[in-house]
Each structure stands twice: as C-alpha cells, then as structure tokens.
Amino acid sequence: MLGELGSATSSQLSVSTPSSILIPLGSTEQHGPHLPLDTDTRIATAVASAIGARLEWPVAPAISYGASGEHQGFAGTISIGTEALSTLLVEYGRSATCWAQRLVFVNGHGGNVSALAQAVGLLRSEGRDAGWCPCAVPGGDAHAGHTETSVLLHISPNVVRTDRMRAGNDAPLRELLPSLRRGGVAAVSGIGVLGDPTTATAAQGRRIFAEMVDGGARRIARWLPGSDGMLT
Ligand SMILES: [Zn+2]
C-alpha cells in the first residue's frame, strides 16, 4: 500500500494499473486566539489519511490555501480567492487524471465550496472521474468553536492554546449571514470565533473525527457525485 503519494516513486504508479487518490484541501486563515492558522488543513489531512488507510488509496500532499476572504480582517489569513482556487483545482484534476483513475478532494473549509463545485463540476463534464467530500458533521458549529476545537484536541492536542479559549458568537449561521457577507467574520465576532470552544474535549473530538471519516468513506464507496461534484 502506498500511503503518502509524496513519498512514493513514479514507478509505483502506473497507467496500466491506475490508482485513485485523495487530496486534502484546507486553508490558511485565522481560527480565533486558540487554534492555528492551518486548522482546516490539519483536519482535512487527518481525515483523508484515515480514509486512505481504510480504502488503500494514497493521500497527496495537501493544498493548504483556499478561499478565505471572509477572514481577511484578521492577521495571518492568506486567501487565494474562489477564482484562483477553482483554476488550481481544474488544472490539478486535468494533470492527475492523466494517470489516476479517480480523485477525491477532502475539504476542510466551507469557504472552498464554490470553487470545488465549479472546478469538480467542470472536470466531470470533461469526463474525468473526480469528486469531493466535506469534513462536516450534522449540528457542528461554524468556526473555531466546539467542533473544530474538539477535533484538534484529538488529532493535534499540542497546538491548541487551551488557556486562550473564549466563547465567540454562537448565533445560527443563517442569522449571521447578512452581516457576514457585508463585513466578514470580524463584523460578527471580534475574536474570530463562531461557536463555543470552551466546551470542547478530546473525547468529543474522537467521536466527531470518527464521524467525519466514516461519512467520507461511505460517500466514496457509494460514488454518486452530484452535479457540483460532491459525493452524496
Ligand atoms: Zn476551520
């Protein structure tokens, strides 16, 4: 089994025995005072690795930048925007499908969804067998709150500044959307947190992480991409 694509050799991958790959897609953006900028990339990479181990699919090096314009009011955020991300994903897919049978982007950041839908939809219309799946669980909070903090306490406990955890704005996302669209996350939460990280635990994180992995593996096994390329 190949494991990580980056450490495989080209001769281990051949066009005559095509393999399929998982690509973690994250972001580099503020995650409140207590989580690192690469939180989404860490989650996407860990979920993709667990799915890869289960399905025996190699995991490609992560794409660590995404569309994070809504977090631009906070230092550390680096967004390449929806257009550039979409172009990147299209060219990535065109190149990888020269030898890979199937590819799945494992997405850790909600802001990447428009680019994924555009890009994977186009790749599929070109006859390339691409799809994407979210790292999301029903009932999860939006950003740097209970959900993401719990998962990081499970997969990367050393990088969580537990002494800096503070509750953010935990109003439902649909209520926040009008202000969010106008002024970004900074307009609704001065600390950049949507949700409440103070209730997070590693045990909850283990449960949420398992749900993310099971959900992704199930979507891939079923292989029923929608018109936006999301595996249903
Ligand atoms: Zn995040």
The pLDDT tens digits for 82-133 are 999 999 999 999 999 999 999 999 999 999 999 999 999 999 999 999 999 9
Cβ proximity of 188 and 179 under 8 Å: yes
pLDDT of residue 2: 77
Cα of 99 from ligand 1 centre, angstroms: 32
Tokens 């995991």 locate to 59
The pLDDT tens digits for 21-46 are 999 999 999 999 999 999 999 999 99
pLDDT of residue 73: 95
The Cα 75–Cα 8 span in angstroms is 36
Q: What domains can you pick out in the chain, each with its CATH number?
A: 5-222 (3.40.50.10310)
Cα of 203 from ligand 1 centre, angstroms: 19
pLDDT of residue 117: 98
Is the pLDDT at 180 greater than 70? The verdict is yes
Share of the chain above pLDDT 70, in %: 98
Cα of 28 from ligand 1 centre, angstroms: 9
Cα of 13 from ligand 1 centre, angstroms: 33
**String of DSSP letters for 205-219:** HHHHHHHHHHHHHHH
The Cα 27–Cα 110 span in angstroms is 10
Cα of 140 from ligand 1 centre, angstroms: 11
Q: What is the mean pLDDT of the chain?
A: 96
